[in-house]
Structure 1
Amino acid sequence: MDAELFPRERAGVAPGAVHAPGWLDDEGQRHLLAACRDWARPPAGLRTVRTPGGGTMTARQVCLGWHWYPYAYARTAIDGDGAPVKPFPAWLGELGRRAVADTLGPAAVPSASYDIALINFYDGEARMGMHRDADERADAPVVSLSLGDTCVFRFGNTGTRARPYTDVELRSGDLFVFGGPSRRAYHGVPRVRPGTAPPRLGLRGRLNITLRVSGL
């Protein structure tokens, strides 16, 4: 994947939704991966998310700033070990603001600071059904960063989980930002491609770091 006939180009997937391939360089990926490994350790570490209907999400998750559980936020890992949620680091918020400015323009950068990170770990069998990020009180753009294995990211519309949608290949280091008219669009991960992570990164599986403004 390092040598391609045609380099991957930045693309507007929908109004307010932009895919920026290779946005994080190798050093940035390694730095973010090291931080994720620290955040995944207990207390309030990586957990399996259980839905109100008794099911479980196949991607495991750890949260920063605010702890998300279906379908609300808390200051403790209320559906985990009950420990206080890990703090949201200022440098991660600045990374989110830079991502928005670079993809949607300076005017789209939220006045409020990013204060939530949801970090999902996907093994080769993990999936994520179509859903909306709708538990926040703010409409700031969502910033999504990928590390490790390539996935198919399905980005849909605001009205239904069904078509129309666009499938986008997200590789390690890719950035995807969605805000404005696409802020409440349905999206999901129908499959991960095991063994596609860059060997130099030292990660098996996929990490997705999603940054949000809570408005709480």
Structure 2
Amino acid sequence: MTPEAGAGGTDELFPRPRAVVAPGAVHVPGWLSPERQRELVAACRSWAAGPVPMRHTRLPRGGVMSVQTVCVGWHWQPYRYTRTAGDVNGARVVDFPGWLGDLGREAVAAAYEGDPGADVYAPGRYAPDTALVNFYDGAAKMGMHQDKDEESRAPVVSLSIGDRCVFRFGNTEDRGRPYTDVELDSGDLFVFGGPSRLAYHAVPKVYPGTAGPETGMSGGRLNITLRETGLA
């Protein structure tokens, strides 16, 4: 599958502008076309069916995450990456597809286009090798955390499909203020790298029923994050 590049999501009376939320952290509204969103939804459904199925991740202290997750390329379990899912069924996760890496490079280039410091983020050399797909129902949330289990500090690419959410983007020191709340709609792109690569972030709220039918989803929110693990 090779998703067709899209210039934006659904038409809006007042298009939302691209925004630099923090140095290296960029929000590009409506980056995914409806066609590309549907293709990604279909891919996520395929991955969720196995060989390692979508599940609620259990944390080391016994808690269970409210989001459901399926992994591609590498399997993430708190707080490491493996090729096989020893905490689920022992199967090897599905391989990371080349078209998804191409999409990640397009995303980084789009986020940092015109940025005089873009060479720091190396959009042309971005080589993601894993994707974490999180599904949020209307009650699911994600607490403040850092994406720091990767050896590489290449940017994280975040793609949103389905219901609107509040994305809380914080600082690199702790889970408290200062932070910025950004509303992410279906089709939005958010990239964070460089000085913001280890910023704490969260999803404190999802707005059920806010996605249009063009995504092919009946409800909920999909978040696809592409990462470069730096692992062999």
TM-score interval, smaller chain? over 0.9
More moved, 186-195 vs 100-109: 100-109
- 2:230 paired with 1:215: yes
Residue pairs, 1:65-104, within 5 angstroms: 65-104=73-112
- Unaligned 5+ segments in structure 2 are 1-8
Q: Partners of 2:88 and 2:28 in 1: how far apart?
A: 34
**Alignment counterpart, residue 56 of structure 1, candidates 55, 64, 80:** 64
**Alignment counterpart, residue 205 of structure 1, candidates 217, 220, 228:** 220
**TM-score for both structures, normalised by structure 1:** 0.96
Quote the residue 1:111 is aligned against: 125
Quote the residue 1:175 is aligned against: 189
Number of residue pairs matched by the alignment: 216
**TM-score for both structures, normalised by structure 2:** 0.90
Q: Partners of 1:132 and 1:66 in 2: how far apart?
A: 18
Quote the residue 1:151 is aligned against: 165
Shift of 1:110: 6.1
- Superposition RMSD in Å: 1.4
Q: Partners of 1:26 and 1:159 in 2: how far apart?
A: 37
Name the amino acid aligned to 1:168.
V
**Paired residues of 1:110 and 1:140 also in contact (CA < 8 A):** no
Shift of 1:121: 0.3
Residues 53 and 21 of structure 1, relative CA distance in 2, 3 Å threshold? same
Q: Partners of 1:44 and 1:140 in 2: how far apart?
A: 26
Q: Partners of 1:158 and 1:71 in 2: how far apart?
A: 18
Q: Partners of 2:157 and 2:10 in 1: how far apart?
A: 24
Q: Partners of 1:129 and 1:209 in 2: how far apart?
A: 17
- Unaligned 5+ segments in structure 1 are none
Quote the residue 2:55 is aligned against: 47
Name the amino acid aligned to 1:95.
L
Quote the residue 1:33 is aligned against: 41
More moved, 112-121 vs 162-171: 112-121
Q: Deviations over 1:7-39 (max 9, x none)?
A: 211100000000000000111111111101101
Shift of 1:202: 2.6
**3-state SS of paired residue (1:95):** helix
Among all aligned residue pairs of Structure 1 and Structure 2, give the percentage whose two residues are the same amino acid: 64
Q: Deviations over 1:114-171 (max 9, x none)?
A: 1010000000000000000000000100000001000000000000101100000001
Q: Partners of 1:65 and 1:5 in 2: how far apart?
A: 39
